[in-house]
Structure 1
Amino acid sequence: MDGGMEQVIWFEHLRRGDIARVGGKNASLGEMIQDLSPKGIAVPAGFATTADAYWHYVDANGIRDKVAAGIVDWQQGKASLAEAGSAIRKLFLRGDWPQDLANAIRAAYAELSKRIGSEDVAVAVRSSATAEDLPDASFAGQQESFLNIRGERSLLDACRRCYASLFTDRAISYRQTKGFEHLKVALSIGIQQMVRSDLGGSGVMFSIDTETGFDKVVLINAAWGLGENVVQGAVDPDEYQVFKPFLANGSLRPIVARKCGAKAKKMIYGSAEEPTINVPTSKAERASYVLDDEAVLKLARWASLIEQHYGCPMDMEWARNGEAGELVIVQARPETVQSRHKTGVFRSYSIKQKGKKLVEGLAIGDAIVSGRVCLVETAKDIDQFVDGSVLVTATTDPDWMPIMKRAAAIVTDHGGRTSHAAIVSRELGLPAVVGTGTATLLLHTGEQVTVSCAEGYEGFVYDGAAEYEVETFDAHDLPATQTEVMLNLANPATAFRWWRLPADGVGLARMEFVISNAIRIHPMALVHFDRLKDEVARNEIAALTQGYDDKSEYFVDTLAGGLARIAAVVHPNPAIVRLSDFKTNEYAGLLGGAEFEPKEENPMLGFRGASRYYSPRYREGFALECRAIRKLRNEMGFANVIVMVPFCRSIEEAEKVLQVMAESGLKRGEDGLKIYVMCEIPSNVVLAKDFARYFDGFSIGSNDLTQLTLGVDRDAGDLADLFDEQDPAVKWMISRVVTEAGQAGAKIGICGQAPSDHPDFAAFLVECGIDSISVTPDSFVAVKQIVAEAERRRGRTVRG
């Protein structure tokens, strides 16, 4: 080696084609500095040692053959993985630096300090394997990183430890599993300026949703201090989701989800002997978001630019300088799990019979697995793990890799969606429930459990072996239809699971699900919080709305965010959002609700739907619903949202509701707003042409229409046999309103349960000439096929 010119290369001289010289991580940093810095993406300066430098170190210390011998001993069973790994690492740690290589590193470090204007600048020292970040292997976390390294001696020591980390137990095991030859993988070291994120925050972001592969969102995790805690899953971070298609419009704020994590500790700068330490966060830090909206949107725009540049979904690490406030990208690599899934082919899991819920956390993946618990508290006890068990532990880091790939599922106390446990579980195709808080306390080795990640963003561990079904299908095989087949969705947490279905939109998004599950508070109790008499409710509401001076804003923000995740799945196709349709007994069950609701003998036919919206008893609460819709459409950008009025009994009521909506900023036709009405009362059928003058479309609610046509309470057990949505009288009502709506030029669809429960009912709807059929996702495939067959029989021309 001469002059060190081939041993050290500055990031700005590297491109992604240099993986063989400096590994994927360092090549990517060079690519971003060259091509993305001009677009405003900030990347800290630094340099990389080369693969040639690694082999120079290996050969100068004469350890190549000794490394090979150690690997062979392990492969032949003469030494355990731990014994072989330890022996090989000692060869590196006891080695001496070749003088020319040491001088090259010292000179580059001095130049970096000079560029920054700081003597002995603090740097991050990160490993970059020359085979890492390939499309079929991430190598994420396989080698070591060292933060807040200062001075030449400390730098050379950290570099030596980076070389040794190429042979940690987890790295050896990973290469063996992936089929990489151990002596054909070299290690480059990236030496990069640290930013004072110990005084600010840092985290990880992906340019797709990590659980479903939904490609229109950016997922951002954030915690206080240095980013290692987020990467390793040692903290429960904040989480943000941003809808990418709207990021180019600077007037929109498309943050569709925001969750405040516990963030119980943070990593900060330490001493020369211990460069980083963890300290508890303050109460204020735990209660606060790490990022404001502007920072979230800036990071999301950067993620989109990086993804566009590389032409594939990306996994990135970011940091924020607590002194100056600027954001930087410190790493970017291809995402290696969801991006490899075959588009349109997926399994759908549905749980049937289940035992008692034991713990819950964040769902990673969407599968269901039953197995026996194996509780392993620390990495030093991993030899106790039983293959095929459900691994239960507090948290995982790369040391756990050798047993994680042998687990049936993983459950942890701590961690977020971008933690080590989450990333590895996805790559291994394992369901995981992370961040439960109590799994190691409540689950015991040997007990039979079921891990379910098929019920939304929350994952559950149930007692015993549950009954569940698995269906596999390819959405590409579904026929095209002229009749629109849409989705009934209620739960924002599960909406992204269905993005690959070729749905024509959302035919029914139930607002009340978001209110009861996410908001949990009666809107009038927020408007009139100060007059609440129920102290227990007051305390709960105060806790839920912490951080909101105006408690009404909590309702508006949460409702808009929940509905946005549903609208995002089908954008730009329409998403029909039904305004709240609680009955009085259901409203009374919300926090603070009992003080605002009358007691009714028959709530099903009482103070519900449209009658509430103009009533002095609820009008202020309805104004919050309207504010949420305005935010959803105008501030967040989801103009594909159509609003639907439920249980509208008369033309006079239609006039009143439309007037109240207009006064609240939702005027039909303004900014392209369409307003539909539910057709679920016989009067809606009888006066269909009159209702069509006030609304742009109808959606048939077959449950209520059946109940009111046949005079049968759908919840009356003794009359269950009489409740039949396929009764001739009900079919006559449906056929009649489809005809009347068509003649009046109004769109008409159905969002009731009948087509989902009885797919053959869809054929009857096609015969009637209905415009759209909206069904639950699990029946979409069957209904789509039946609709296509019915259209062929009827001779309708399918859409291409």
Structure 2
Amino acid sequence: MRETAAIGNEALVVLFDDVGRRDVGSVGGKNASLGEMISSLGSRRIPVPAGFATTAAAYRDFIRANGLEEKIRCRLRDLEAGKASLGETGAAIRAMILEGEWPKETAKAIEAAYAELCSRSGKKELDVAVRSSATAEDLPDASFAGQQETFLNIRGKKALMDACRRCYASLFTDRAISYRTAKGFDHMAVALSVGVQRMVRSDVGGSGVMFSLDTETGFPDVVVIDAAWGLGENVVQGAVDPDEYQIFKPLLARPGLTPIIHKSLGEKKQKMIYGSGDRPTRNVPTSRVERTSYVLEDAEILRLANWAVAIEDHYGCAMDMEWAKDGETGEMFIVQARPETVQSRADAAALKSYSVSGQGKTLAKGLAIGSAAVCGRVSIIENARDIDRFVDGSVLVTGTTDPDWVPIMKRAAAIVTDHGGRTSHAAIVSRELGLPAIVGTGNATHVLHDEQDVTVSCAEGDEGFVYSGTAEIGIEKVRVDDIPETRTQVMLNLANPAAAFRWWRLPSDGVGLARMEFVVGNHIRVHPMALVRFDELRDEKVRAEIEELTRGYAEKTDYFVDRLSRGLARIAAAVYPKPVIVRMSDFKTNEYAGLLGGAQFEPEEENPMIGFRGAARYYSPRYREGFALECQAIRRLRDEMGFANVVVMIPFCRSILEADRVLDVMAANGLKRGENGLEVYVMCEIPSNVVLASEFAKRFDGFSIGSNDLTQLTLGVDRDSAELAELFDEQDPAVKWMISNVISEARKAGSKIGLCGQAPSDHPEFARFLVECGISSISVSPDSFIAVKRIVAAAESGG
């Protein structure tokens, strides 16, 4: 390592260019990682701002020169013996350090390195970031997230020396002392390096955090990026609700593809910019344009994701990174990288599934952190000064958290915050502590009250809910490596994109049923014809709601295509490259009418269950333009995003003539069976599908038996009728005859055939019947997967 000064053989200051991950003991995890990226990833064109670091030797020399070692030890002994409080101890040690004088050689070395950095940048007084980097930081089993201080927009030698001294003092904040004690680290064995790095002008650009896996489920095939305007501290601290992007890694390297599978617009109500004088940074409100615009363009999202993959490949583990975009030059940089320390240590073979039932009214909702659920009593703490009021084991509700809150976060049952995203301090610490948390609710501190009994649920996908009262919480534990293999494929029924990644560890054979209508109803909420014919809408309130939802889209119909393709992409990504069978929309008219703007475009029917639904809609003038949007979304999903594992399925196709009409309409919209490997299946849920199975097999690549509708139409029983409930039986001999015959016909034609109903989950004997008939696949809900897999294995072995 090149050096400007040394004590014996130990350097006081080193350039980032001259350090790597082998030097954690000298410059700490953060600075070692910056040096590693500069020296080893330059060939991958990953830009890291230049800088230098003080060493552990410089820190120890400072402590020694000011005679502080024994004084600090004495204070820590008093704390351990209960003679002084944590607050008193930390304040006293920090005061000693802040009053210390810089050893002459160390000061000279720091000033010389800063002068060289200024010269290289062509500025007399370069603005720099001054970051703490502890020698026990960013280790695989301890992140020390946010334990020490960072100071931004520091200019001039005097300000730099003051900031470096304050970094040293931050080694003994209350939270840092508490964290080291909890982790069993010797306080005096940990030293602190200071990183001095050229500032990226993200104060007039944007910045954020990036992970090379899904932070909630450990799904390894996505990059997750949070982004906000201004300097990055607001994102890290959870002071803003950032934009979030998810990118599917396996398709990143394929030319011409844009595998951005999720984009959500954060509120981003404030941004941190440069200040002046004693306030080098300050927060200001964002403009309406900034709040309603994404921070990053698609090309920038993909560039960051590619960098994340390269950094992960180099380190050989999942990574947690910070990035910044210079608003003056448009350049982007990686400004920090460290190993991810929560999901990477989880047992990949262990699966714990939570379920919530009997819940009360929804009181608040936000981003779910983790997948657990707990019941508890609310404890609202709005300021860190009041943490003594916190009741152990209660649900901590607050605006936002920072490292000062860690001592009480460890004592909470769950955490709920008004602000923050998935990479906020509250989210990161909750994951490390194994606590369920809901962040970014916007109003939890206003709608909840102290001593209120609530249920905090993160068990329902990536949206978390606070329910009133105490719900029933079920927990199922299973080891994935104990699940038997089967010849018959066992697939998943999935509808909610937000929950799809929860099930990536299950050894499924793909998704046998992805319900498009769930995505439309929950993630789009607007009737497609209300977007196609927006100018014809008569209801002004509906028009206003649609205007708000589609804000930022050049065309109203773009909103539908974008949201639908990304929602389905998350389901397709969860099992890629295994098949995902997407059923085109199968709302009934009364359900379609419930969508925004839908009432104007739907007829009123006496019996929607057997009315204007499924295939009949797709070629009808009433809906043909809406179906065209569905086809556009599938084309984008397969051709532009790269999910060629998606199979299209047509529901409620009554006749051969109808099959031909639908296939023609699909082809006219760019979805031609057989082109680019596209397979098209048909639901088998009408007796005519069984009677004419051989003819349907000539037009479709496979069948999926919908046992509910097939039972209803075979027996003539309304499945929703309470009066006829005992007659609705999927194991009735007539229904089983239908199923066994269509399986036989499909096998003769060489077609694939599966079943996507609830019966195999509820009735083991029905699953055995399907195996005996020679069915290709059975698709079940994720919570039934393991039980059905075992039943199928037993049936195949004659059990």
Task: Please classify the TM superposition score into its range, dividing by the shorter chain length.
Answer: over 0.9
The aligned counterpart of 1:673 is: 678
Question: 1:489-532: per-residue Cα shift (whole Å, max 9, x none)?
Answer: 00000000000000100000000000000100110110000111
Q: Which residue of 1 aligns with 2:526?
A: 521
Separation in 2, partners of 1:140, 1:371: 27
Is 1:3 aligned with 2:8?
no
Which residue is 2:699 aligned to?
A: 694
Structure 1 pair 2/219, CA: closer, same or farther in 2 (3 Å)? closer
Counterpart in the other structure of 2:603: 598
Checking the alignment, whether the CA contact within 8 Å between 1:759 and 1:779 is kept in structure 2 is no
- Answering whether residue 511 of structure 2 is matched by residue 509 of structure 1, we say no
1:383 Cα deviation (Å)? Answer: 1.1
2:423 matched residue in structure 1: 418
Match of 1:156 among 152, 157, 161: 161
1:125 aligns with 2:130: yes
Q: Which residue of 1 aligns with 2:121?
A: 116
Q: Is the 8 A contact 1:260 1:289 kept in 2?
A: yes
In structure 2, how many angstroms separate the alpha carbons of the residues matched to 1:356 and 1:659? Answer: 47
Tell me, in whole angstroms, the C-alpha distance in 1 between the residues paired with 2:375 and 2:563.
34
Amino acid at match of 1:589: G
**1:595-634 correspondence runs (5 A):** 595-634=600-639
In angstroms, what is the RMSD of aligned CA positions? 0.9
Q: In structure 1, what residue type is equivalent to 2:339?
A: P
Contact 1:225/1:266, CA 8 A, preserved across alignment: yes
Letter matched to residue 556 of structure 2: K
Which of 305, 311, 316 is residue 311 of structure 1 equivalent to?
316
Q: Deviations over 1:211-262 (max 9, x none)?
A: 0000000000000000000000000000000000011013000000000000
Q: 2:383 maps to what in 1?
A: 378
Cα gap change, 1:39 to 1:286, in 2 (>3 Å): same
Name the CA distance, whole Å, in 1 between partners of 2:351 and 2:80. Answer: 36
1:28 partnered with 2:33:
yes
**Alpha-carbon distance, 1:728 to partner:** 1.2
Distance in 2 separating the partners of 1:515 and 1:75: 58
- Alpha-carbon contact 1:49-1:190 (below 8 Å) kept: yes
Distance in 1, Cα, partners of 2:445 & 2:42: 45
- Detail structure 1 runs of 4+ shifted over 2 Å in the superposition: 1-5, 756-760
Q: Which moved more, 1:34-43 or 1:153-162?
A: 34-43
Equivalent-residue separation in structure 2 for 1:197 and 1:13 (angstroms): 26
Q: Shift of residue 312 of structure 1?
A: 0.3
What does residue 593 of structure 2 align with? 588
Q: Which residue of 1 aligns with 2:374?
A: 369
Answer with 730-739 or 571-580: which moved more: 730-739
Report the CA distance between 1:3 and its aligned residue. 2.8
> What's the counterpart of residue 63 of structure 2?
58
- Measured against aligned partners, the alpha-carbon deviations of 1:538-577 in whole angstroms (never above 9, x if no partner) come to 1111110001121101000000000000000000000000
- What SS is found at the alignment partner of 1:110? helix
Q: How many Å separate the matches in 1 of 2:304 and 2:761?
A: 41
- Residue 377 of structure 2 aligns to a residue whose secondary structure is strand
Instruction: Write the letter of the residue equivalent to 2:201.
Output: R
Distance 1:383 1:217 in 2: 40
Q: Deviations over 1:285-329 (max 9, x none)?
A: 000000010000000000000001000000000000000001000
Q: CA deviation at 1:2?
A: 8.9
Give 1:649's aligned residue.
Answer: 654
Q: 1:75: how far off?
A: 1.2
SS in 2 for 1:305: helix
| Structure 2 CA distance for aligned equivalents of residues 260 and 159 of structure 1 | 37
CA distance in 1, matches of 2:561, 2:764: 37
Measured in 1, the distance between the counterparts of 2:4 and 2:249 equals 48
Aligned pair partner of 1:332 in 323, 332, 337 = 337
Q: Is 1:2–1:100's contact at 8 Å kept on the other side of the alignment?
A: no
DSSP 3-state at the match of 1:291: coil
Q: For 1:190-589, list aligned pairs within 5 A.
A: 190-589=195-594
Change (3 A) 1:600 1:148: same
Distance 1:224 1:262 in 2: 11
8 A contact 2:5–2:13 mirrored in 1: no
Separation in structure 2 between the aligned mates of residue 634 and residue 330 of structure 1, nearest angstrom: 34
Q: What does the per-residue CA deviation read over 1:690-730, in whole Å, with 9 as the maximum and x for residues that have no partner?
A: 10000000000000000001110000111111111111111
- Equivalents in 1 of 2:474, 2:190: separation in Å? 43
What residue is the counterpart of 1:37 in the other structure?
Answer: 42
* Conserved 8 A contact 2:210-2:323: yes
Q: Counterpart of 1:751?
A: 756
* Conservation of the 8 A alpha-carbon contact between 1:344 and 1:501: no
Q: Secondary structure at the match of 1:141?
A: coil
User: In the alignment, which residue of structure 2 is the partner of 1:107?
Assistant: 112
Distance in 1, Cα, partners of 2:235 & 2:285 = 15
TM-score if structure 2 supplies the norm length? Answer: 0.99
> How far is 1:671 from its partner?
0.1
* Cα drift, residue 430 of structure 1: 0.1
Question: Which letter does structure 2 place at the counterpart of 1:428?
Answer: L
1:18 partner amino acid:
D
Residue of structure 2 in register with 1:782 after alignment: 787
Q: How far has the Cα of 1:732 moved from its partner?
A: 1.0
Partner of 1:711 in structure 2? 716
SS in 2 for 1:399: helix
Which amino acid is the alignment partner of residue 430 of structure 1? Answer: L
SS at the partner of 2:449? coil
**1:759 to partner: Cα distance:** 3.6
Paired with 2:214 and 2:296, the residues of 1 have a C-alpha distance of: 19
Structure 1, residues 113-141: CA drift from partner, whole Å, max 9, x if none? Answer: 01111111010000000011111100110
C-alpha contact (below 8 Å) 1:321/1:327 kept by paired residues: yes
In the alignment, the residues of structure 1 paired with residue 554 and residue 146 of structure 2 have an alpha-carbon distance, to the nearest angstrom, of 42
How many pairs are equivalent? 794
Distance in 2 of aligned mates of 1:396 and 1:662:
53
**Deviation at 1:344?**
2.2
Matched to 1:548, the amino acid is Y
Q: Distance in 1 between matches of 2:70 and 2:579?
A: 65
Q: Amino acid of the residue matched to residue 373 of structure 2?
A: I
Q: Partner of 1:797 in structure 2?
A: none
Contact 1:225 1:267 in 2 (8 A): yes
Describe the shift of the 1:760–1:152 C-alpha distance in structure 2 as closer, same or farther (beyond 3 A): farther
1:753-772 residue pairs with structure 2 within 5 A? Answer: 753-772=758-777
Task: For residue 421 of structure 1, give the secondary structure of its aligned residue in structure 2.
Answer: helix
Counterpart Cα distance in 1 of 2:549 and 2:490 = 38
Structure 1 residue 146: Cα displacement: 0.2
CA distance in 2, matches of 1:20, 1:305: 25
1:760 Cα deviation (Å)? 3.4
Shift of 1:165: 0.2
Q: Which amino acid aligns with 1:340?
A: R
Question: SS of 2:508's equivalent?
Answer: coil
How many angstroms apart in 1 are the aligned matches of 2:385 and 2:218? 34
